[in-house]
Each structure stands twice: as C-alpha cells, then as structure tokens.
Amino acid sequence: MNTTESPSDSTAFDRSTSDTQTLETVCDRLDQLTERVDKLEATVERKNERIEDLEGTVERQDALLEALRRKAGGTREMLTELQSRELEKNAHLRWDHVEPNVETLEVDTDRVEKFTKDDGETYARIPGGEDPLNRGGEPALTTGDLLPIQQLARMDDDMLHSAASSKPVRLAAEVWRDHEQEQSMLWKQGCNGVREYVDAGELAQWLRHNEPGVNKEYSQKLAGRTIDALLDLTKDRLYVKRKNRRKDGLSYKERRVVLPEESEIPGETTFETNSPETADVGSE
C-alpha cells in the first residue's frame, strides 16, 4: 500500500527542523556569551587583584615616605639646633650649609650676618662674632672699606678719645659699638623694612647713666648732637623720623634713629631668623 505525504505533514516537518536549528543557534550563541562573560570575569578578578597589590604597595610607600619625612624633619631640627648653638659660640659657618635653615635658626640676636673672608668663601656668623678657630682668615674688609663710624667703634677707648673730634663723635662711636654687640643695650629690632632703631629718649637716658656729670636737660641736647654725628659718620645709612609719644598725659614727638634693612653696612649683610614678632615701629 503506497502512502503519500500530505502537504500539512511536510510543513510541520519543516517548521520543526527550523525550530531545532534556531534553538541550536541560540544555544551556541549563549555558550559563546557565557564563555566571554567567564573571560571578562576572570579579567576583572585579575585586575582587582592587581589593584589590591597596588594599594598595598601605595600604603607601604606612604608609610615609608612618612617615616622618611619624620626622620628628615628631626635631622633638620637637630642640624638647626647645632648650627644655632655653634653660631652663638661665635663660630663662622659656611653660608651654603646654613642658608637652607637661616629662617629657623634660634640665636640670641635673632639674626645672622653673611660675609666673605680672605679665603674667598662666604660665611655666616652672629653680627660681629670673631671665630675662635680663626679659619679662613679675617673678613675680607680693609679699614678703608669700613664706614667712619665702624672705624671709630673698633678702636679701643684710649684711641677713640684721641681720634674723636668732639664728644658727640665719640659717643656716636660708642653707640655704634653697642650696635655691634650680641646683646645691645640701646638698639631694638624693628620690622616692616626696619632692621634696628634707637629712640632719642632711650639714648638720653643711656647718656645720663654712662657719662659723668650729665643731667636730664643736658642729656637731651647731647643725645640730639650724638644722633647728628651718627647720621654723618654712617654716610646716611641711617635716617631720623619723628614718633608720636605720650607720657604723663602729654603728647610729644621724639626723634628715632632708624637703620633700614636695605642699608648696606660693610661686612653686615644680615638676615632675620624666625624670631618672635616685634612691635610695629613704622607707624606715626
């Protein structure tokens, strides 16, 4: 008995075959995507592990860097302290060794001086300090390089009395000699462009205590003449300004002798250290 396939059976078979092929294609695509996802997840996991390694390295390096900072800070503080103490002992230190710490030095005078010696090297010292070891020779300045006030101030008392043309000139030299001391009795540190200053009233009081036979009225006149001699002998490195002062309810103007920071004094290039802030001396 012959049987023939009906059109409906053929259509059903074709549909079944097509569905099977589509399913296989989808399964293959799904397998491909699954494989790709697995690879991506493996890549992400490796990168996460790498990130964790890098974070650990960064933490270790940060800890090492912080330790180095602390050690460097401690070393710098120790070096600054040693330099400060040696300078206070009048040591002359190489400027290129001191310069990085010049703002943090702690010395009694709150400033250091930059100068050149006979050996051609640049050094730092407390202003006027003489090196007890005498290394590098003397500061490379001759008497002719000095201001008249410096020449007089560096004489002994007998020579000064002989060389001074008048009492105000001698007193001006003694006032400048006081300026060159580590602990000045007269000069005060300034700010805002003022290196140091001395008031006429303080000078008059100093004269009354140090000059025999000088009373209050004469001390004021003598202080004025001494100030005039200071201006002349320093070749205008100093200047005078008048300050408003108040005493016993009365207001008056007083002369103030000012050494500005920009004034070049032979052998005295000075640099402020990290000292306590001083009172403003520039206001009227």
160 and 213 co-located in one domain: yes
CA 93 to chain centre: 17
Q: How many CA atoms lie within 13 A of 180 on its CB side?
A: 20
Percent of the chain having pLDDT more than 90?
A: 21
Residue 275: per-residue pLDDT: 46
Residue 223: per-residue pLDDT: 94
Query: From start to end of 20-134, where are the E strands?
Result: 93-94, 111-116, 122-125
Q: Which of 141, 164, 184 is the last residue of a domain?
A: 141
157 and 255 co-located in one domain: yes
**CA end-to-end distance (rounded Å), the chain:** 136
Considering the domain boundaries, does residue 78 fall inside one?
Answer: yes
Residue 76: per-residue pLDDT: 78
177 and 115 co-located in one domain: no
62 and 132 co-located in one domain: yes
Considering the domain boundaries, does residue 7 fall inside one?
Answer: no
Residue 279: per-residue pLDDT: 39
Considering the domain boundaries, does residue 274 fall inside one?
Answer: no
Element (H, E) at 18: helix 7-88
165 and 188 co-located in one domain: yes
Q: Which of 111, 141, 171 is the last residue of a domain?
A: 141
109 and 206 co-located in one domain: no
**pLDDT classification of 276: cutoffs 50, 70, 90:** very low
Q: Does residue 169 carry a pLDDT above 90?
A: yes
Residue 242: per-residue pLDDT: 87
Considering the domain boundaries, does residue 5 fall inside one?
Answer: no
Number of domains in the chain: 2
Q: Which of 82, 110, 141 is the last residue of a domain?
A: 141
**Residue 44 sits in which domain range?**
17-141
132 and 156 co-located in one domain: no
Query: What CA dihedral angle connects 141, 144, 148 and 151, to 10 degrees?
Result: 60
191 and 235 co-located in one domain: yes
243 and 127 co-located in one domain: no
Q: What is the pTM of this model?
A: 0.50
- Which of 68-72, 138-142, 194-198 has the weakest average pLDDT? 138-142
Q: Does residue 227 carry a pLDDT above 80?
A: yes
Considering the domain boundaries, does residue 282 fall inside one?
Answer: no
124 and 202 co-located in one domain: no
Q: Tens of pLDDT along 239-267?
A: 998 887 766 566 668 899 999 988 888 87
Kindly report the average pLDDT of the chain as a whole number: 80
Q: What is the pLDDT averaged over residues 123-135?
A: 74
**pLDDT classification of 73: cutoffs 50, 70, 90:** low
131 and 148 co-located in one domain: no
Q: What is the pLDDT averaged over residues 23-33?
A: 83
Q: Does residue 114 carry a pLDDT above 50?
A: yes
159 and 206 co-located in one domain: yes
Top-confidence residue, 259 or 76:
259
